[in-house]
Structure 1
Amino acid sequence: MMEEFEMTDLGLMKYILGFQVKQSCGEIFISQEKYAEDLLKNLAGSLIYLTNTRPDILQAVRAIQRFMSKPSKIHYAAAKRFLRRSTSGYLFCLGSKLISWSSRKQNIVALSSAEAEYAAATSAACEAVWLRGNLTDLQRKEEEPTVIFCDNMSVAMTKSPVFHARSKHIELHHHFIRDLVNKGEICLEFIGTNEQPADVLMKPVSKEKFEK
């Protein structure tokens, strides 16, 4: 045909119409691996956009994002290290309306659930300071401390300056939350795990709790 028509030989076909084609002696292997990966990436991108109005699915979407790259031994090793890090999650309401939320991997490897909760509470406290500043700019200064509900020992740790076995290894910048408590800008109160709405941003929860 090349003698009859002007054309360029591109070699063996490797990809066509969403199919990957691998040709070898006597056989042709067809797969849609790349197409499936593209579907997953497109879905993940759509879900990320959806979190602008659906913070309840943010934690699950973040988990999906972790596996977007093609896995290898290096990725597997990184994933194992990644998964050792806890997830901080918080949400803030003004009156009965949700105005701010976050779900992100912590930048430390927590040695206990208490430390992970403490780091998450500190992140929430930083957001509270920013929100209080915004309200002040809008001529609506908050006179009362912002209440942050926690479901672990982080409440007690913010009230005690003593460096005991549970807190002596925690990075100093996380103790910023103690200053905010002492200044009366925030107040930490205990809430049971079953009543903590922010759990949907930090870990998978049961269908009953999610719907609640």
Structure 2
Amino acid sequence: MRILFVEDDARTADYVNQGFAQAGHVADVIRDGRDALVHGMNERFDVMVIDRMLPGLDGLSLVKALRASGNTTPVLFLTAVGGVDDRVDGLEAGGDDYLVKPFAFSELMARLNALARRPPARTEKIKLQVADLEIDLLRHSCRRGSVVIDLLPREFALLNYLMQNESRVLTRTMMLAQVWDFHFDPQTSVVETHISRLRSKIDKPFDRPLIHTIRNTGYSLHA
């Protein structure tokens, strides 16, 4: 079992990671919430174990961002924050289980094994399609109709985010966070520039535009 383990306390991280290794599992140990978000969105794991109190990005925000990106990997919160309201907040944020510190490692493994046995909530898509526009997430390829479209990595990531959220209105702030991992306003036109580039490649050469500007709000991709 491959595990993403997000824990900033060195002693807890070392203890649990040693237990994972002895049980025959491989864990990627991350200490910072923002680093964990990037890792979780770009790598595949069987389960994730996430603390709530993290530097960079707290555990609740981390899981919410993962779920918003379409990540359905089971998540267990492992934290000292154990009130009823805290557990409810964790589950409503997208967590699948909640274990309060101090804990027995045997119980942690039993809960993770149970999560790993659950069938996935949905099959992860390899290809996304809106109208005649299609992207292949494995090959990082894009085509519209019979025309192959060459996209730069950030253009592909932005188009992927738009297509994952077909017909939803996405704000500039949402795109900065999900595509560029900016959780602040960099005071640049990076979003507008990349939207313009995408339009020049997937809209302008064709009869029907797919990227729509929602005035004073953001952008939406739909037929």
Structure with the higher helix share, 1 or 2: 1
Structure 1-normalised TM-score?
0.25
Question: Who wins on radius of gyration, i.e. which is larger?
Answer: 1
Q: Which structure ranks higher in relative contact order (CA pairs < 8 Å, sequence separation ≥ 6)?
A: 1
Structure 2-normalised TM-score?
0.24
